[in-house]
């Protein structure tokens, strides 16, 4: 059993900062890809489906995976039990990434739908 040996007041601030950084980095990366790098192909349905099922999960897994690894190192340094390896598919980090992915997909779909409307 692990016991908390480091009760630094900045411990929770570090974790929250890392999680928010991962969230904003993911949103920024997907937005830059969506609006800047490939804006002409966004209206195509095949591109939209590929983007949603390939690009968004890849970016989310990279950003949130790095945040999870960093959180694990911070927790070990503070004397908390490690979170990695994840014990089940219903662990809180996986549920959080799935919830973020659904939200990001809905947000992109709403923007894509507006682009597809004839003017």
DSSP conformation class of 100: H
Residue by residue, DSSP assigns 79-112 as TPPP-PSP-STTSHHHHHHHHHHHHHHHHHHHHH
Q: Is residue 84 part of a domain?
A: yes
CA distance linking residue 27 with residue 22, whole number of Å = 9
Phi, psi of 11 (to 5 degrees): -60, -50
Q: Is residue 109 part of a domain?
A: yes
Q: Which residue has the tokens 């409307």?
A: 117
pLDDT, mean over the chain: 80
Q: Is residue 99 part of a domain?
A: yes
Q: Is residue 6 part of a domain?
A: no
Q: Is residue 36 part of a domain?
A: yes
Q: Is residue 1 part of a domain?
A: no
Q: Is residue 76 part of a domain?
A: yes
**Secondary structure tally for the chain: helices H, strands E:** 4, 0
The total number of structural domains that make up the chain = 1
Q: Is residue 34 pLDDT above 90, yes or no?
A: no
Check residues 97 and 18 and name the one with the higher pLDDT: 97
DSSP conformation class of 38: S
Q: Is residue 22 pLDDT above 50, yes or no?
A: yes
pLDDT band for position 102 (cuts 50, 70, 90): very high
Question: In which domain, by residue range, is 103 found?
Answer: 11-116
Enter the pTM of the model.
0.75
Q: Is residue 58 part of a domain?
A: yes
């Amino acid at each position: 059993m692990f016991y908390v040996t480091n009760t630094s007041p900045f411990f929770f601030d570090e974790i929250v900062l890392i999680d928010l950084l991962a969230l904003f980095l993911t949103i920024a990366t997907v937005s830059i890809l969506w609006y800047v790098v490939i804006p002409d192909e966004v209206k195509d349905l095949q591109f939209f489906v590929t983007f949603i099922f390939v690009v968004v999960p890849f970016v989310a897994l990279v950003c949130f995976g790095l945040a999870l690894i960093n959180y694990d190192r911070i927790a070990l340094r503070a004397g908390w039990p490690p979170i990695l390896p994840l014990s089940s598919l219903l662990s809180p980090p996986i549920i959080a990434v799935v919830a973020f992915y659904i939200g990001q997909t809905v947000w992109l779909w709403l923007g894509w739908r507006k682009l597809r409307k004839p003017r």
